[in-house]
Amino acid sequence: VQLQASGGGTVQPGGSLRLSCALSGSTLEHWAVGWFRQAPGKEREGLSYINPVDGSTYYSDSVKGRFTISKDNAENTVYLEMNSLKPEDTGVYSCAAVNAWGSSWSFSTYGMDYWGKGTQVTVSS
């Protein structure tokens, strides 16, 4: 399984970006895919995931109400729509996948099975 994140860039505060995470080597029906952010000098933070087992989604408090995760099974791609961006949203955004049908899994840095290379998001005026 391989993941390819894209869509990062530089945007002004209040702006929007859409990140994409393309999965290859398998299909999204088998994997819960999530987004993580690592800001300079901070630990990696789990932001959001989407679970194909029941269609549920999760958002951290830091992005709830501003970010929306979605997926396109035909394109085998997960998206993260980011609105009302703030300077504190700056960081490297990575997507990761975990077997959604396993006995148990956790949305955490050490709980994911596969990682894609990150994409930089900078929010600055």
Residue found by looking up tokens 């269609």 in the block = 55
- From first to last of its 125 residues, the chain has per-residue pLDDT tens of 999 999 999 999 999 999 999 999 999 999 999 999 999 999 999 999 999 999 999 999 999 999 999 999 999 999 999 999 999 999 999 999 999 987 788 898 889 999 999 999 999 99
- In angstroms, the CA 9 to CA 120 distance is 6
The answer for residues whose C-beta is within 8 angstroms of residue 34's C-beta and 6 or more apart is 46, 47, 48, 49, 50, 58, 69, 95, 96, 97, 98, 107, 112
pLDDT at 52: 93
- In angstroms, the CA 55 to CA 57 distance is 7
pLDDT at 104: 82
Residue found by looking up tokens 């900078």 in the block = 122
pLDDT at 92: 98
pLDDT at 103: 72
